[in-house]
Amino acid sequence: MTETPVCRRLVGRTAVVTGAGSGIGLATARRLASEGAQVVCADIDESAGKAAADEVGGLFVRVDVTDPDEVEALFKTAFDTYGSVDIAFNNAGISPPDDDSILTTGLDAWKRVQEVNLTSVYLCCKAALPYMRQQGRGSIINTASFVAVMGAATSQISYTASKGGVLAMSRELGVQFAREGIRVNALCPGPVNTPLLKELFAKDPERAQRRLVHVPVGRFAEPEEIASAVAFLASDDASFVNAAEFLVDGGIAGAYVTPL
Ligand SMILES: NC(=O)c1ccc[n+]([C@@H]2O[C@H](COP(=O)([O-])OP(=O)(O)OC[C@H]3O[C@@H](n4cnc5c(N)ncnc54)[C@H](O)[C@@H]3O)[C@@H](O)[C@H]2O)c1
């Protein structure tokens, strides 16, 4: 839906995108590349990640973001290949069906979601920061969610808690490293029109409607609309945006009563 951007704010920058094989990560890999960045496409899914890298002329690195050694190797490969790590979009995440109400969610499901959604962001930040400190420059964007700032009666308890953790961690890192030229922001997307969500709502239109009523603009986001926010945060246009809770949610978090 977004036209090809004409801006080239990221020429010469190296960006690492986790979860680049699908959804928000894929749209962002495309957008960052179109703005001139060299993009390292990281994903656990080899065929999707490789396809993304081929499409954007970048590099594919297969990584499980919960594995400390693989995450370290990812950022080292980015640095060794392109000479810098300027942008880290720590975005890979899961939302499995066994993460539900606290009444029914077991400890295994809880732990798995914390590992993939929260521990992974800790690992990626820890691995990216040394390169950025050495350069005296960097932009880290961690994908949280609007559920980090709002409660839902349709709970995914571990997911929500993990995103709250991403938000708080990003804020703290943004404060700690600001004077070293590093910005850290939490991106909080509203619901996005990804294949997973489309499938879920095609099966259950009532569930889709129940959510749509809370969105002032009356629709879900397209992945490209989230990607354009990431490109902004990655670029020097956002030079004074740091430690932010960066909502891209069509107004959900601001709404009480929405238009019919
Ligand atoms: N889709 C939404 O409505 C929405 C809303 C708010 C926030 N988010 C968040 O945005 C991020 C991306 O979501 P999406 O909808 O694009 O998801 P998606 O499922 O389309 O893509 C996620 C990608 O991450 C990869 N991945 C999963 N586990 C991994 C692992 N352990 N190591 C490496 N890669 C792994 C997958 O292979 C996939 O390519 C997630 O953190 C999600 O929680 C999504």
Is the pLDDT confidence value at 115 over 60? yes
Find out whether 16 and 80 touch, Cβ atoms under 8 Å: no
Mean pLDDT of 185-209: 87
Look up residue 60 and give its two tokens. Answer: 């594919």
Judge whether 107 lies within some domain: yes
Judge whether 206 lies within some domain: no
Find out whether 163 and 155 touch, Cβ atoms under 8 Å: no
Judge whether 213 lies within some domain: no
Residue 15 per-residue DSSP state: E
The span from the CA of 154 to the CA of 259, in Å, is: 22
Which residues touch 25 (CB under 8 Å, ≥6 apart)?
17, 18, 19, 41, 43, 52, 89, 91, 92
Find out whether 219 and 212 touch, Cβ atoms under 8 Å: yes
Is the pLDDT confidence value at 28 over 70? yes
Asked if residue 92 has its Cβ within 6 Å of ligand 1, the reply is yes
How much is the pTM?
A: 0.97
From the candidates 82, 122, 131, 159, which is the catalytic residue? 159
Is the pLDDT confidence value at 37 over 70? yes
Asked if residue 156 has its Cβ within 6 Å of ligand 1, the reply is no
Sheet holding 245-248, edge to edge: 59-62, 38-43, 14-18, 87-90, 138-143, 182-189, 245-248
Quick one: pLDDT at residue 203?
Answer: 86
Can you point out the beta strands (E) in the chain?
14-18, 38-43, 59-62, 87-90, 138-143, 182-189, 245-248
Report CA(117)–ligand 1 centroid distance (Å).
9
Mean pLDDT of 154-180: 98
Is the pLDDT confidence value at 33 over 60? yes
CATH classification of the domain holding 88: 3.40.50.720
Pocket test for ligand 1, best of 30, 89, 94, 224 (most atoms within 8 A of CB): 94
* Look-up of token digits 């798995």: 112
The span from the CA of 244 to the CA of 259, in Å, is: 28
Asked if residue 189 has its Cβ within 6 Å of ligand 1, the reply is yes
Mean confidence (pLDDT) of the chain: 96
Mean pLDDT of 30-48: 98
Which residues touch 130 (CB under 8 Å, ≥6 apart)?
none
Report CA(59)–ligand 1 centroid distance (Å).
19
Report CA(194)–ligand 1 centroid distance (Å).
10
Helix 157-177 to helix 107-114 angle (10° resolution) is 30
Asked if residue 248 has its Cβ within 6 Å of ligand 1, the reply is no
Is the pLDDT confidence value at 1 over 90? no
Judge whether 169 lies within some domain: yes
Judge whether 75 lies within some domain: yes
Find out whether 118 and 162 touch, Cβ atoms under 8 Å: yes
Pocket test for ligand 1, best of 17, 24, 41 (most atoms within 8 A of CB): 24
For the chain, give the percent of residues with pLDDT over 70.
98
Domain hosting residue 231, numbered range: 14-190+223-247
Can you point out the beta strands (E) in 79-164?
87-90, 138-143
Asked if residue 45 has its Cβ within 6 Å of ligand 1, the reply is yes
Quick one: pLDDT at residue 100?
Answer: 96
Residue 81, number of CB atoms within 10 A of its CB: 13
Judge whether 217 lies within some domain: no
Number of domain units in the chain: 1
Judge whether 32 lies within some domain: yes
Judge whether 201 lies within some domain: no
The protein residue whose alpha carbon is closest to atom 15 in ligand 1 is 23
Specify whether 256 is catalytic. no
Asked if residue 198 has its Cβ within 6 Å of ligand 1, the reply is no
Asked if residue 116 has its Cβ within 6 Å of ligand 1, the reply is yes
